[in-house]
Structure 1
Amino acid sequence: MGIYLSRLLRKSSTEVCKAPPGDRAKQDLSELFTPLAHEEEREINNILCSSDQSKQIIVMHGPSSIEITKEIIRCLRPGCWLNDEVINLYLELLKERAERDSKKFLKCHFFNTFFYNKLACGEAGYDYQSVRRWTARLGYGLLECEKIFVPIHRGVHWCLAIINMKDKTFQYLDSLGCVDHGVLRILARYIMDELNDKSNIQVDTSSWLEISDYIPLQQNRWDCGMFMLKFIDFHSRGVGLYFNQENMEYFRKRTAKEILRLRVD
């Protein structure tokens, strides 16, 4: 795994970070990079830089029962890998954001970090029955969604798979520039089983395309989780991925603020 990461990092560091296609001026992205207020910056720095690594709960998200302690939130410090709790709480907050303003954000479904590993388990490397109940009480069907986000964890590396129900495409976003077609094949099989089970609809995903658009690449060994969260954030807004490695420190602090406030804007 270490050699794999080193080679990919050398590759990404030599590539020129080009802007994604389209006219950026046509998209108002100011709210995506709103500077933190001085008091917010001070509060976040105190929490992230504190030597207190206790298990004291500082945030409790009632609907998901996710608890964030002082120790857990420290993963948002520069140079740290993100953990499941922070990622999953952020995904819950993205879901709540879309529910608050359905006209502004796309209709999406956000699977948590445990979904794919559960789906891809078993002797055959695929077990629909183990995740069949995951969508039973959503209040909506995946058929109604424009995009479905699936976090993928590869040892020490976070990636993202997207099932685009509107365009009938699959996408694999890896901030190290790789594509795992095996993951997409598993998800293609999953969406067929899911629509058949929940909606009694027969779908042949063999005609769905695997697309590969521009994605910004990380230039270090630890920001993959942060890149993944921003892939989801920007895609759920329906805007291009107009960010790069230089924005990661700001995104880490902004994510800490949003978790402490239990609200993503």
Structure 2
Amino acid sequence: MTKAQLLTSATGDEEITELIHDYLEEFYGKYGSFIPLSENDVLENLQRVLNKDVSDRKPFIFMEIMKYQAALANAPMSNFKVSYNKHSLTLEDLSTLDGQNWLNDQVINMYGELVMDAVPHKVHFFNSFFHKQLVTRGYEGVKRWTKKVDLFSKSLLLIPIHLEIHWSLITVDMPNQHIQFYDSQGIHFRYPVENILRYLLTEAKEKGKPIFQKGWKMIVSKCIPQQNNDSDCGVFVLQYCKCLALGKPFQFSQEDMPKVRKRIYKELCECRLLE
């Protein structure tokens, strides 16, 4: 009889505690912190291992989780690092996904690469520094960024825009020649959209694509999920990117942001998108 089968018939506090500690130890090693942990993660693991409902033990289970976390509070994995392609995230970077922190460029850019790679050859994600470079140095300052990329063969371009302390998103629907602006506070900054239009017109001329040198339409997205705080704009941008790239509807709201933050953290550590 396996350990799980033995525990199924009569599960005491010590046995449950051991299973909790085993799971949390593995979780901590995998993610470098407990930032992406939810109590349901632990409950689902226990129910899977024991093959029975443990909801009646929730108070005890949650207390054990708190005790384990408290014991490791002063022992962070400061050398924890996640790498994907040319991207590298430290625990400090990943910690921007905790609570109400503002996401940094490193998190935005690595996640964008995961989104892009989830839909090969169809989506191109621009580095978050692209627009700033375009503004300060013009087309000449960014033309090498797409030296090996045919933007006009893509279905969708995703361009995160960071203006002072706020993240927005510009998308380009290449087949329909639509440039669209998404903002989780309902703000419309016209000049970034115009910057991207000028960039695309110049790129089309440089790459010999006359069909893309006219016929563009600029659109402001309305009736999209909105934030009700000052800290989740980056999370909304990443969620917009994921849904648009995968062709999924925007079925999320401000209430989902704590859960979305945890999921994004896990996706970055696992280097793949999760449901």
Does the pair score TM above 0.5? Answer: yes
1:170 matched to 2:179? The reply is yes
Query: What's the counterpart of residue 95 of structure 1?
Result: 116
Q: Contact conserved, 2:102 with 2:234, CA < 8 A, in 1?
A: yes
The verdict on how the C-alpha distance between 1:185 and 1:40 changes in structure 2, with shifts beyond 3 A counting, is: farther
Superposed displacement of residue 41, structure 1: 11
CA-to-partner distance for each residue in 1:150-182, whole Å, 9 max, x for gaps? 110011111001111122111111111011111
Tell me how far apart the structure 2 counterparts of residues 110 and 170 of structure 1 sit (CA, whole Å): 14
Tell me how far apart the structure 1 counterparts of residues 259 and 249 of structure 2 sit (CA, whole Å): 18
The verdict on how the C-alpha distance between 1:173 and 1:40 changes in structure 2, with shifts beyond 3 A counting, is: farther
Q: Contact conserved, 1:54 with 1:71, CA < 8 A, in 2?
A: no
Query: What's the counterpart of residue 267 of structure 2?
Result: 258
Q: CA RMSD in A?
A: 2.4
Q: In the alignment, which of 81, 89, 93 is matched to residue 68 of structure 1?
A: 89
Superposed displacement of residue 45, structure 1: 8.7
Aligned identity (percent) is 31
Tell me how far apart the structure 2 counterparts of residues 219 and 211 of structure 1 sit (CA, whole Å): 19
- Alignment-mate amino acid for residue 119 of structure 1: L
Superposed displacement of residue 47, structure 1: 4.0
Paired residue total: 214
Tell me how far apart the structure 2 counterparts of residues 259 and 52 of structure 1 sit (CA, whole Å): 22
In the superposition, the TM-score normalised over structure 2's length comes to 0.71
Of the two, which has the highest radius of gyration?
2
Superposed displacement of residue 214, structure 1: 2.2
Tell me how far apart the structure 2 counterparts of residues 223 and 88 of structure 1 sit (CA, whole Å): 16
Tell me how far apart the structure 1 counterparts of residues 152 and 196 of structure 2 sit (CA, whole Å): 14
Q: Name the SS for the 2:231 alignment partner.
A: coil
In the superposition, the TM-score normalised over structure 1's length comes to 0.74
Query: What's the counterpart of residue 145 of structure 2?
Result: 134
Superposed displacement of residue 46, structure 1: 3.2
Unaligned runs of 5+ in 1: 1-37
Higher relative contact order (CA 8 A, sep 6+): 1
Tell me how far apart the structure 1 counterparts of residues 191 and 25 of structure 2 sit (CA, whole Å): 42
Q: In the alignment, which of 119, 131, 140 is matched to residue 116 of structure 1?
A: 131
Unaligned runs of 5+ in 2: 1-22, 36-68
